């Protein structure tokens, strides 16, 4: 493990995705981790257990994933930067409290290194089947942000960014990687630690008249007072008014849930990121994310060398869904192929967007893979060529 | 140029570590390298596979598609991955029986035996195999491979592993 603090030297290293994820979290100021180990995410817990005590942080191995997410929610309320990491079965157990964090506006980061599901599935094999669960796994309308790193360096970048987004909007942020990205090792050059400036949580300036759930005029996100510094406020999973105390009043309830949703809806351009190649003149576009996108890019590059006008779009943000860039594909691509290791979860969104914006000029094709293996570039290439 | 390696055998043989060290050595020589793995839920005894892709340029797809080198330390690994080989070279342990239907060029080397008798510890067969792969592929110099071994093996076992590496390099030289 490289030392990441107090150095101006760049780090060039053979690094694993899970390791890069953890170093990104530490660079963001992670100082509290609670988790329950599960393949293929376990390296994150192992490295946190080793590194956090060195920087004055805390690591707790909890009794299960419900305890883990409860612990990081509690720690976040005291001003800590908190994270847990898991995979499908653990992510399922965390759903109830993801909703609690969303409603109570408690910043947390959850890394889900996806494996084949449902249930215990194939623990050591890769999948991308938790896309919709990340969005809708907990009950009720709620804001959520989910990011999908596409290589080891991005595991660092997007975990760091996950903390900033969690603090800025006070929403739970999910980093969705998968077994291939999490376990893959590649040459990585990390930015100089001194060039990293993680976002600080905006705190209130006065205890007098503090309303924990009153939207700050600047940005619309309430200011969060850390427990233990003399502020008194009430945190509940019941609908609440600006004081934090429960309410059943329809008007207050309506205002609350719409305000929560708007924190994300009004900031889609700030949150959404993507990478692309050869989109401008493409006739066939391939949309993908995470490890599938590596196969897709390889296939698109090959198609170009064979004279096929193929383009590549990789979504780095899955939720909120990057609608604008997907809609732009419909203006020139006759075919849009969605390559993902599930049976069409991102495709559902792409179909909705292309269907409503392209006026029938563009057709969406699903390319799903669910056998635990990463796409071979040939499979994506054959889809581009049109002989699946 | 893209060079692809597939290291296969059974869980617990340390092939993942051998793959990591190979990738580490390539990076030390300024190349790009990606290492991936696949394994079953068993801690040891199941089938295990590590892949390393080394290139001077960007690597978009991280897995081996048409390996230049297949290492197979068990009969099962040889019969699973041998038939998939095209242009590349198969390296098998002497304990593995060759199959006339597997047409790719094949060299048979006493990797497990060299670890057990010449180096003196069965568990370093993975690093003997690494020496063989490094020597036959030339993706990194002997000195760089030794540095990478020292960096990645458990503390206190460095010299034993470097000895294993040298035995592997000698096996490679003898088979050329």
Measure the CA–CA gap between A78 and B140, rounded to whole angstroms.
Answer: 51
Mean pLDDT of A31-54: 98
Q: How many CB atoms lie within 10 A of CB B106?
A: 18
The dihedral through the CA atoms of A237, A242, A246, A249 has a sign that is negative
Residue B35 and residue A301: Cβ atoms within 8 Å? no
CB A171 within 8 A of CB A264: yes
Domains held by chain B: number = 1
Tell me the percentage of chain A whose pLDDT exceeds 70: 97
Chain B contact probe: residue of A185, A190, A278, A294 with most B CBs at under 10 A: A185
Q: How far is CA B126 from CA A146, B12, B157, in A?
A: 40, 10, 13
CB B115 within 8 A of CB B155: no
Q: What is the pLDDT of residue A387?
A: 62
Domains annotated on chain A, with CATH: 11-195 (3.40.50.970), 274-385 (3.40.50.920)
CATH assignment of the domain containing B143: 3.40.920.10
- For residue B39, give the nearest of A12, A124, A186 by CB distance: A124
- Record the tokens describing residue A376, joined without a space: 């071979």
List Cβ neighbours of A23 (8 Å cut-off, separation of 6 or more): A1, A2, A4, A15, A47, A156, A190
Give SS3 for A105: coil
Residue A301 and residue B60: Cβ atoms within 8 Å? yes
Residue B144 contacts A where some CB pair is shorter than 8 Å: no
Q: What is the pLDDT of residue A388?
A: 46
Residue B35 and residue A14: Cβ atoms within 8 Å? yes
pLDDT at position A272 over 90: yes
Q: What is the pLDDT of residue A3?
A: 45
Residue B35 and residue A374: Cβ atoms within 8 Å? no
Q: Where are the beta strands (DSSP E) in A28-121?
A: 32-35, 58-61, 82-86, 109-116
pLDDT band of A9, cuts 50, 70, 90: low
Q: What is the pLDDT of residue A198?
A: 96
Q: What is the pLDDT of residue A37?
A: 98
Residue B33 contacts A where some CB pair is shorter than 8 Å: yes
pLDDT band of A10, cuts 50, 70, 90: low
pLDDT at position B47 over 90: no
Q: Where are the beta strands (DSSP E) in chain B?
A: 3-10, 32-39, 47-55, 69-72, 89-93, 106-109
The dihedral through the CA atoms of A296, A302, A308, A311 has a sign that is positive
- Considering only B38-42, B82-86, B101-105, which range has the smallest mean pLDDT? B38-42
- Considering only A158-162, A255-259, A328-332, B156-160, which range has the smallest mean pLDDT? A328-332
Q: What is the pLDDT of residue A7?
A: 47
Measure the CA–CA gap between B57 and B66, rounded to whole angstroms.
Answer: 18
- Record the tokens describing residue A13, joined without a space: 């290293």
List Cβ neighbours of A130 (8 Å cut-off, separation of 6 or more): A88, A91, A112, A114, A117, A137, A176
Domain coverage including residue B27:
3-175
Q: What is the pLDDT of residue B174?
A: 94
Q: What is the pLDDT of residue B30?
A: 94
List Cβ neighbours of B12 (8 Å cut-off, separation of 6 or more): B43, B44, B45, B48
Residue A14 contacts B where some CB pair is shorter than 8 Å: yes
Among B86, B80, B27, B89, residue whose Cα is nearest residue B52: B27
Measure the CA–CA gap between A51 and A216, rounded to whole angstroms.
Answer: 36
Measure the CA–CA gap between A287 and A290, rounded to whole angstroms.
Answer: 11
Is residue A218 classed exposed, middle or buried when 0-12, 13-18 and 19+ CB atoms within 10 A define those classes?
A: exposed
CB A375 within 8 A of CB A339: yes
Give SS3 for A206: coil
Residue contacts between A and B (CB atoms, under 8 Å):
56
pLDDT at position A4 over 90: no
Mean pLDDT of A170-194: 95
- Chain B residues touching residue A122 (CB < 8 angstroms): 41
Residue B37 contacts A where some CB pair is shorter than 8 Å: yes
CB A359 within 8 A of CB A327: no
- Chain A residues touching residue B65 (CB < 8 angstroms): 376-378
Q: What is the pLDDT of residue A6?
A: 43
Q: What is the pLDDT of residue A263?
A: 97
Q: How many CB atoms lie within 10 A of CB A279?
A: 17
pLDDT tens-digit map of B157-172: 999 999 999 999 999 9
- For residue B27, give the nearest of A14, A39, A374 by CB distance: A14
Longest dimension (CA), chain A: 69
- Chain A residues touching residue B86 (CB < 8 angstroms): none
Measure the CA–CA gap between B15 and B91, rounded to whole angstroms.
Answer: 14
Q: What is the pLDDT of residue B46?
A: 81
- For residue A14, give the nearest of B33, B37, B65 by CB distance: B33
pLDDT tens-digit map of A100-129: 999 999 999 999 999 999 999 999 999 999
- For residue A184, give the nearest of B27, B32, B36 by CB distance: B36
Residue B48 contacts A where some CB pair is shorter than 8 Å: no
Tell me the percentage of chain A whose pLDDT exceeds 90: 92
The continuous run of DSSP H or E covering A68 comes out as helix A65-77
The dihedral through the CA atoms of A355, A357, A360, A364 has a sign that is negative
Q: Hey, which residues 124-153 in chain A have their CB within 8 Å of chain B?
A: 124-125
Give SS3 for A337: strand
The alpha-carbon gap from B123 to the nearest alpha carbon of chain A, in Å, equals 23
pLDDT at position A2 over 70: no
- Chain B residues touching residue A124 (CB < 8 angstroms): 38-41
The dihedral through the CA atoms of A95, A50, B152, A194 has a sign that is positive
Output the 3-class SS for B35-72.
EEEEECCCCCCCEEEEEEEEECCCCCCCCCCCCCEEEE
pLDDT at position A66 over 70: yes
Find the residue in A nearest to B32 (Cα): A187
Backbone angles phi, psi at A217, to 5 degrees: -55, -30
pLDDT band of A5, cuts 50, 70, 90: very low
């Amino acid at each position: 493990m490289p030392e990441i603090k107090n150095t101006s030297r760049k780090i060039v290293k053979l690094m694993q995705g899970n390791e890069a994820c953890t170093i990104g979290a530490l660079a963001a100021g992670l100082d509290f981790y609670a988790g329950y180990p599960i393949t293929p995410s376990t390296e994150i817990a192992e490295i946190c257990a080793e590194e956090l005590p060195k920087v004055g942080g805390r690591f707790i191995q909890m009794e299960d994933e419900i305890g883990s997410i409860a612990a990081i929610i509690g720690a976040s309320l005291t001003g800590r930067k908190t994270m847990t990491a898991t995979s499908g079965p653990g992510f399922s157990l965390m759903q109830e409290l993801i909703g609690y964090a969303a409603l109570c506006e408690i910043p947390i980061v959850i890394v889900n290194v996806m494996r084949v599901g449902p249930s215990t599935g194939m623990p050591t094999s890769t999948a991308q089947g938790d896309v919709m669960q990340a969005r809708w796994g907990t009950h009720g309308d709620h804001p959520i942000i989910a990011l999908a790193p596409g290589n080891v360096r991005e595991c660092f970048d997007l975990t760091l960014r996950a903390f900033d987004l969690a603090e800025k909007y006070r929403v739970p942020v999910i980093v969705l990687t998968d077994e291939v990205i999490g376990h893959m090792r590649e040459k990585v050059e990390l930015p100089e630690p001194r060039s990293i400036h993680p976002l600080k949580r905006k705190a209130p300036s006065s205890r007098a008249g503090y309303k924990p759930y009153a939207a700050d005029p600047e940005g619309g996100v309430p200011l969060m007072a850390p427990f233990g510094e003399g502020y008194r406020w009430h945190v509940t999973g019941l609908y609440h008014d600006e004081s934090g105390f429960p309410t059943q009043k329809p008007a207050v309830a309506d205002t609350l849930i719409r305000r929560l949703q708007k924190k994300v809806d009004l900031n889609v351009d700030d949150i959404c990121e993507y990478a692309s190649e050869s989109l401008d003149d493409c006739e066939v576009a391939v949309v993908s994310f995470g490890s599938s996108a590596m196969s897709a890019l390889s296939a698109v590059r090959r198609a170009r060398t064979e004279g096929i006008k193929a383009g590549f779009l990789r979504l780095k943000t899955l939720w909120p869904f990057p609608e604008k860039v997907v809609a732009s594909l419909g203006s020139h691509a006759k075919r849009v192929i969605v390559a993902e290791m599930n049976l069409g979860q991102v495709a559902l969104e792409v179909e909705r967007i292309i269907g409503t914006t392209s006026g029938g000029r563009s057709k969406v094709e699903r390319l799903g893979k669910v056998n635990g293996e990463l796409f071979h570039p040939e499979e994506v290439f054959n889809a581009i060529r049109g002989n699946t | 140029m893209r060079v692809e390696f597939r290291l296969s055998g059974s869980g617990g043989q340390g092939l993942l570590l051998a793959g990591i060290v190979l990738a580490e050595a390539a990076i030390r020589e300024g190349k790009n390298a990606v290492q991936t793995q696949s394994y079953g839920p068993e801690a040891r005894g199941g089938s295990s596979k590590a892949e390393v892709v080394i290139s001077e340029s960007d690597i978009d797809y991280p897995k081996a598609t048409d390996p230049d080198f297949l290492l197979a330390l068990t009969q099962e690994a040889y019969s699973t991955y041998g038939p998939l080989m095209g242009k590349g070279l198969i390296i098998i342990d002497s304990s593995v029986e060759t199959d006339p239907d597997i047409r790719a060029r094949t060299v048979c080397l006493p990797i497990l035996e060299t670890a057990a008798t010449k180096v003196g510890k069965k568990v370093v067969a993975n690093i003997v195999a690494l020496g063989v792969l490094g020597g036959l592929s030339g993706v990194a110099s002997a000195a760089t491979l030794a540095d990478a071994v020292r960096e990645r093996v458990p503390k206190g076992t460095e010299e034993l592993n470097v000895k294993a590496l040298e035995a592997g390099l000698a096996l490679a030289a003898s088979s050329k």
